[in-house]
Amino acid sequence: MKSPRNVVKRKMSPGHCLLHTAPSMLRLPGTLGGYERASLNRNIRLPQATGETFSMCIPPPNVTGSLHIGHALTVAIQDALVRWHRMRGDQVLWVPGSDHAGIATQSVVEKQLWKERRVRRHDLSREDFLREVWRWKEEKGGEICEQLRALGASLDWDRERFTMDAGSSVAVTEAFVRLHKAGLLYRGRQLVNWSCALRSAISDIEVESRPLPGRTELRLPGCPSPVSFGLLVSVAFPVDGEPDAEVVVGTTRPETLPGDVAVAIHPDDARFTHLHGRQLRHPLTGQLLPLITDASVEPHVGTGAVKVTPAHSPADAELGARHGLHPLSVIAEDGTMTSLCGDWLQGLHRFVARERIMSALKERRLFRGLQDHPMVLPICSRSGDVVEYLLKSQWFVRCREMGDRAAQAVESGALELSPSFHQKNWQHWFSHIGDWCVSRQLWWGHRIPAYLVVEEPVKADGEDCWVVGRTEAEAREVAAALTGRAGAELTLQRDPDVLDTWFSSALFPFSSLGWPQETPDFTRFYPLSLLETGSDLLLFWVGRMVMLGTQLTGQLPFRQVLLHSMVRDRQGRKMSKSLGNVLDPRDVIAGAGLQVLQEKLREGNLDPEELAIAAAEQRKDFPHGIPECGTDALRFTLCSHGALGGDLHLSVSEVLSSRHFCNKIWNALRFILGVLGRGFVPQPSEELSPSSPMDAWVLSRLARTAYECERGFLTRELPLVAHALHHFWLHSLCDVYLEAVKPVLSRTPRPPGPPQVLLSCADIGLCLLAPLMPFLAEELWQRLPPRPGGPRAPSISVAPYPSARSLEHWYQPELERCFSRVQEAVQALRALRATYQLTKARPRVLLQSSEPGERGLFQDFLEPLSTLGHCGAVGLLPPGAAAPSGWAQAPLGDTTQVYVELQGLVHPQTHLPLLAARRHKLQRQLDNLLSRTSSVGEAETRRKQRISSLQLELSKLDKAASHLQQLVDTSPSPREP
């Protein structure tokens, strides 16, 4: 047989061990196989075509780097669903794409420019810098596509989109203009998340909430020395007119004291009732501040009094607005103190100013103490700097009205979230949603299509005069109409800011199909059938897609959202470059030595301290590197996890186990093809009728597997599919049927039934497996002899997926129930063989049952019982007959006994010491477990399970020892007939 070009060419000779063949075959194929490429033409109508469409888009990964295992989970789930729909006969569109990742990409390119040329961004013009970014994108951006192809993603590559390409730019501009005209997008001065290191506003998802248990020192960009956080500073605000009276306020941010405009207390706090209406002296400036009462103050937190800094705290901004307080901005964009702080602080880094303020408070004797204080610190995930809240004039999207529609869509069932427990978070987020800041102070991104009308008088609300247009000419027309002046007389300056990356990402489901034009793809495939992504993106991405999609297209962008969990390492840690546990899927697929893994870390952008920690952790986790596992093994492992529930803890050892499963399938097909031989003539599957109970059983198991796979795909529960396939291939086919049928196949002449059954199991089983393991399934399926009838599909990827209905004539649940009883007998026989260490002997076996039905059941499977139990002849002992003397015995429930011949096969005097030694060893293990202090959770459950298992094993050993002792004490009995 010829192997495809991406397969290691090794013959499937009967004696050849293919342990490494399957994984090598699946290594980094680079492109879809020739069979599959030829079959993915959407213009070809499949015989099983349903006339339905199935459309989905990949969550566009950031163009900045490479995919990790979390992305691989997304791809594995999506590709399995896409392949199933394609084989089912649906017309499928799966749109690939990547995200321009504004902050991340600009940061990477800036670091590279500094590293290679010692050039800062501002040393270049905006146009020159953008040329550098595009050059970097062209050089590095293709890596993601290579990884997707390595994972076997059968994407529609001719539809690939990039969120900064021409089509996306048109869609972004159109969306901005339409939202502005609808009154849903406006410019205003509000508090925003601000990264001083990046000098830009950032989104909520880029703010990492880091819990601190108490005093914690952090090194921050731009700060000359480590800064302590997790401390509560107590500051006295003297009461005006009362020399000895003061109100003590607790704060974790003393550097914002210059921006305080009031102190607030709860109106019912009796400690301050006598001070209602009084004024306080600012501890630094001596200015008078009002002491205000507000029900939002928590009396039992800290001192019960809080300083109010509306320009640097979202909570204080709301409180200040309620009381008409004017905000004072004391921290600048670069993180230094502003002129409002006075000459002694102006220009200082805010955390250097903190120490100077603390010293000033002590000099003025207004410092009242310092104590550890657990807190949550907002950190910019892009820069590592502490996030500041600054008042900035920015563009905002009004979200309330659109958010209400998104919440209603889920409540009414028009939009389905799966798993359903995410609905609670969805409704809570939209019921508390604020306006969305979409301005970013970057150069890389979609430049905002808004223009300042220069020299135009400021509007009544204090804002400058801004106009919006698809082009400058359109904006000029709007400005002329607004000002009543000729457009040619006006000077317009375009907003230098760009839009939040999430704005263009929120348009992806329809912009990728050609919106705002009514393209054939948009007409046919929108709304999308499904949106599958990680649960961490539910609100920031999915929620915004629903809001903007509904507003701009008049339809929900998709009908169902399938959310998988976060992938963590085997220790339960989040995948992080700084921890050294981020895995490139290609390293798991092809394998990678420790030296290669460490080199990849050094090539990254980690600072020296982070690099040292990551390298140490990597050496600990992968001391010998990562073994080669193969694409299909990785995909199968990811799909088999219960990824819809809690976090997914992934270890390479699990993927390696799936690789062994791949090898099992490969070797099973090698055996089956050897049985079929060259002159084999396949029978149409619909004409196949089982000729033995074993044939009927395995075909029933195959039909059940098809039903479970169909149910799993319909409900989008891929772990059910993976479990059903694993159980059929490993346990039903390989462990049971192949072993049971070997003696039958060795007969001359060979019965015609089993080879036909084996072909059906291989053909249908591979088709069932194909969505999860496309490479292995394709390679092996192409080797099978074609069945008579019409032309065969060019690839398994477009072969009809086996339906439960087409195989229901094979399904015999009663036969499966009966055979499960036979399997119990096999297990009992194997347990007796293990206990008495009958390694090579093939003892006779007798079964005795008081139930007539069971006797008939065992009668039909005597030969498989002998084969699977590794025994000699198996017979039935009539009910009521005396038990054979000297035979080992094991109960099979309440109605059946299993007897195994020992005489002449076991030497009691030799075997008893072996049993005693084993019993001593197990007893020590049991005593050790019993002496341990009880724990909680999974560890305690495992301990109890192990105790139960040891006690059962000890009981079996005691019974065996007692039986052997009887053989020693009594003379041997005659052999039973």
Give CA torsion, residues 595, 600, 606, 609, to 10 deg.
0
Give the helix ranges, DSSP H, for 787-907. Answer: 804-807, 813-835, 852-860, 862-868
User: Could you tell me which of 428, 394, 604, 420 has the C-alpha nearest to residue 497?
Assistant: 394
pLDDT at 770 (0 to 100): 98
Q: Is the pLDDT at 563 greater than 60, yes or no?
A: yes
Give the phi and the psi of residue 61 in degrees, each rounded to 5: -70, 155
- pLDDT single digits (tens) 722-779: 999 999 999 999 999 999 999 999 998 899 999 999 999 999 999 999 999 999 999 9
Average pLDDT rounded to a whole number, residues 221-229: 91
Cβ atoms of 584 and 594 within 8 Å: the answer is no
Sheet order of strands, 185-195 included: 200-201, 185-195, 388-397, 436-437
Q: Amino acid letter at 220?
A: L
Cβ atoms of 269 and 299 within 8 Å: the answer is yes
Which of 17-21, 144-148, 320-324, 528-532 shows the lowest per-residue confidence on average (mean pLDDT)? Answer: 17-21
Give the helix ranges, DSSP H, for 484-591. Answer: 501-506, 508-511, 520-525, 544-553, 585-590
Alpha carbons 517 and 246: distance in angstroms, whole number: 67
**Surface-to-core class of residue 457, CB atoms within 10 Å of its CB (0-12 exposed, 13-18 middle, 19+ buried):** exposed
Cβ atoms of 255 and 389 within 8 Å: the answer is no
pLDDT at 581 (0 to 100): 74
What is this structure's pTM? 0.86
Alpha carbons 18 and 659: distance in angstroms, whole number: 12
Cβ atoms of 540 and 502 within 8 Å: the answer is yes
User: Could you tell me which of 46, 53, 4, 43 has the C-alpha nearest to residue 25?
Assistant: 4
Q: Amino acid letter at 31?
A: T
Percent of the chain residues topping a pLDDT of 90: 67
| Strand bridging mode 288-293 / 262-265 | parallel
pLDDT at 85 (0 to 100): 97
| Higher pLDDT among residues 767 and 69, named by residue | 767
Which of 539-543, 732-736, 920-924 shows the lowest per-residue confidence on average (mean pLDDT)? Answer: 920-924
User: Could you tell me which of 39, 37, 19, 41 has the C-alpha nearest to residue 29?
Assistant: 37
Q: Which helix (H) or strand (E) holds 848?
A: strand 845-849
Positive or negative torsion for Cα 940, 944, 949, 954: positive
Ramachandran class of 406: left when φ > 0, alpha when ψ lies in -120 to 50, beta otherwise:
alpha
- pLDDT single digits (tens) 576-607: 666 667 788 999 999 999 999 998 888 776 77
pLDDT at 840 (0 to 100): 84
Place of tokens 């670091």: 111
Alpha carbons 932 and 938: distance in angstroms, whole number: 15
Cβ atoms of 597 and 622 within 8 Å: the answer is yes
Alpha carbons 540 and 556: distance in angstroms, whole number: 16
Cβ atoms of 354 and 254 within 8 Å: the answer is yes
pLDDT at 974 (0 to 100): 45
Bridge partners (DSSP) listed for residue 291: 263
pLDDT at 3 (0 to 100): 36
Cβ atoms of 284 and 353 within 8 Å: the answer is no
Q: How far is CA 880 from CA 430, 848, 897, in A?
A: 73, 9, 12
pLDDT at 977 (0 to 100): 39
Cβ atoms of 721 and 708 within 8 Å: the answer is yes
Give the phi and the psi of residue 896 in degrees, each rounded to 5: -135, 145
Alpha carbons 562 and 716: distance in angstroms, whole number: 8
User: Could you tell me which of 614, 534, 528, 611 has the C-alpha nearest to residue 568?
Assistant: 534
Alpha carbons 453 and 491: distance in angstroms, whole number: 6
Q: Is the pLDDT at 659 greater than 50, yes or no?
A: yes
Alpha carbons 76 and 80: distance in angstroms, whole number: 6
Cβ atoms of 494 and 447 within 8 Å: the answer is yes
The pLDDT mean for the chain works out to: 89
3-state secondary structure of 228: strand
Q: What is the DSSP string of 129-196?
A: HHHHHHHHHHHHTHHHHHHHHHTT----GGG-EETTSHHHHHHHHHHHHHHHHTT-EEEEEEEEEEET
pLDDT at 22 (0 to 100): 38
What tokens were used for 441?
Answer: 């102070």
Alpha carbons 44 and 141: distance in angstroms, whole number: 32
- pLDDT single digits (tens) 899-915: 998 877 877 777 788 88
Which of 286-290, 346-350, 653-657, 835-839 shows the lowest per-residue confidence on average (mean pLDDT)? Answer: 835-839
Average pLDDT rounded to a whole number, residues 557-571: 88
Positive or negative torsion for Cα 828, 831, 837, 842: positive
Q: At what angle do helices 693-714 and 813-835 cross, to 10 degrees?
A: 110
Cβ atoms of 753 and 671 within 8 Å: the answer is no
Alpha carbons 689 and 516: distance in angstroms, whole number: 57
Q: Which helix (H) or strand (E) holds 125?
A: none
User: Could you tell me which of 610, 606, 617 has the C-alpha nearest to residue 573?
Assistant: 617
Cβ atoms of 871 and 865 within 8 Å: the answer is yes
The contacts of residue 971 (CB under 8 Å, 6+ apart) are: none
Predicted confidence band of residue 16 (pLDDT cuts 50, 70, 90): very low
Predicted confidence band of residue 44 (pLDDT cuts 50, 70, 90): low
User: Could you tell me which of 718, 699, 698 has the C-alpha nearest to residue 708?
Assistant: 718
Q: Is the pLDDT at 5 greater than 50, yes or no?
A: no
User: Could you tell me which of 346, 330, 262, 327 has the C-alpha nearest to residue 297?
Assistant: 262
Alpha carbons 159 and 42: distance in angstroms, whole number: 12
Place of tokens 């607790």: 250
Alpha carbons 934 and 947: distance in angstroms, whole number: 12
Bridge partners (DSSP) listed for residue 876: 847
User: Could you tell me which of 221, 249, 394 has the C-alpha nearest to residue 309?
Assistant: 249
Give the phi and the psi of residue 46 in degrees, each rounded to 5: -80, 150
pLDDT at 284 (0 to 100): 96
| Higher pLDDT among residues 38 and 533, named by residue | 533
Predicted confidence band of residue 25 (pLDDT cuts 50, 70, 90): very low
Ramachandran class of 514: left when φ > 0, alpha when ψ lies in -120 to 50, beta otherwise:
left
What tokens were used for 148?
Answer: 């997707």
| Strand bridging mode 439-440 / 498-499 | antiparallel
Bridge partners (DSSP) listed for residue 97: 161
Average pLDDT rounded to a whole number, residues 398-417: 97
pLDDT at 19 (0 to 100): 32
3-state secondary structure of 813: helix
| Higher pLDDT among residues 577 and 69, named by residue | 69
| Strand bridging mode 845-849 / 874-876 | parallel
| Higher pLDDT among residues 65 and 781, named by residue | 781
